[in-house]
Amino acid sequence: MIKNRLSIVVLAAACLQSACGSNSNTSNTGSGCVDISGTWDVTQVEDDTQCGGGKVTTVVTGSGTQTGCSFTVISEGETLTGTATGNQFSGSFTESELGGTGNGTFTGTVSADGKTFVANSSWTWQQGTTSCRGTTVSTATRISGSPDAG
């Protein structure tokens, strides 16, 4: 359940991280952040032990868009939004699935070459009067749309 939401977070983070890397060869959007268009492979490790699960690793592929230093990622019907400053990014998400609601925040850092990133998210899942918390660590590698292609 929250795993899909975290996939979106990871994808958004991946797009944002590459968009705001410090690579001077990357095309600029005109607002101090580089262009984030491209496709990413994202591996995420979700820890939902408090929710009765365990640690689960998933791999997803995704892409996103950016205007200035604001980004949006839409994947599997879910939307994630955030902002970038230099090579750092952050944002939040809210999703509804299977009768419950997930809310979370994420932060991350893109590599100096704009081709990889690491992001951390914390989230809460609530269904009726039951709630639990978890975390996800995501790593991503750009697979197309190289940041130095511009």
Q: What pLDDT shows up at residue 14?
A: 42
pLDDT tens digits, residue range 5-33? 444 444 444 444 444 333 333 344 445 66
- Look at the domain 2-144 and name its fold: Porin (2.40.160)
Q: What pLDDT shows up at residue 36?
A: 60
Distances from the Cα of 101 to the Cα of 91, 95, 124, 128, angstroms: 17, 6, 8, 9
Q: Are 91 and 83 in contact (CB under 8 A)?
A: yes
d(CA 138, CA 47): 11
d(CA 107, CA 123): 12
d(CA 145, CA 26): 10
Provide mean pLDDT across the span 71-88.
Answer: 74
Q: What pLDDT shows up at residue 1?
A: 46
pLDDT tens digits, residue range 114-124? 888 899 999 99
Q: What pLDDT shows up at residue 44?
A: 87
The domain locations on the chain are 2-144
pLDDT tens digits, residue range 22-67? 333 334 444 566 556 667 788 989 999 998 889 999 888 777 777 8
